[in-house]
Structure 1
Amino acid sequence: MKTLTDLLLLGDPRLYETCAPVERDELPLVAGWVADLHNVMEEIRAKYNFGRAIAAPQLGIMKRLIYMNVAPPVGRGPVVFINPVLENLSDEQFELWDDCMSFPHLLVRVKRHKSLTIRYLDEHWQPQTWDLTDDFSELLQHEYDHLDGILCTMRAVDAKSFKWR
Structure 2
Amino acid sequence: MKHLADLLLLGDPRLYQTCEPVQEAELPLVREWVADLHNVMEEIRAKYQFGRGIAAPQLGIMKRLVYLNVTHPQIIINPELVMVSDDTDELWDDCMSFPNLLVRVRRHRSLTLSYRDEHWQTHTWNVTDWGVSELIQHEYDHLNGVLCTMRAIDDRSFQWRPTP
Fold-level similarity (TM above 0.5): yes
Partner Cα distance (2:17, 2:160) in 1? 26
1:129 aligns to 2:116 (yes or no): no
Runs of 4+ in structure 1 off by over 3 angstroms are none
Equivalent-residue separation in structure 1 for 2:126 and 2:52 (angstroms): 18
Matches of 2:70 and 2:138, distance apart in 1: 15
Look up the SS of the partner of 2:84 in the other structure. coil
Structure 1 alignment gaps of length 5 or more: 72-76
Q: Residue 12 in 1 paired to residue 8 in 2?
A: no
Q: Which deviations, in whole Å up to 9, do the C-alpha atoms of 1:65-114 show, x marking residues without a partner?
A: 0000112xxxxx01100000012100010000000000000000000000
In the TM superposition, residue 130 of structure 1 has moved relative to its aligned partner by: 1.0
Structure-1 separation of matches of 2:20 and 2:56 = 11
Q: In the alignment, does 2:143 pair up with 1:147?
A: yes
**Counterpart check, 1:162 vs 2:152:** no
Distance 1:83 1:89 in 2: 17
Which runs of no fewer than 5 residues in structure 2 stay unpaired?
none
Match of 1:48 in 2: 48
What is the count of residue pairs matched by the alignment?
160
> Normalized against structure 2, the TM-score is what?
0.97
TM-score (ref. length: structure 1): 0.96
CA RMSD of aligned residues (A): 0.5
Give runs of aligned pairs for residues 52-71 of structure 1, distance below 5 A. Answer: 52-71=52-71
Match of 1:88 in 2: 83
CA distance in 1, matches of 2:21, 2:88: 28
Q: 1:98 aligns with which of 88, 93, 97?
A: 93
Q: Secondary structure at the match of 1:144?
A: helix
> Pick from 95, 105, 112: which aligns with 1:117?
112
Give the deviation of 1:62 after TM superposition.
0.1
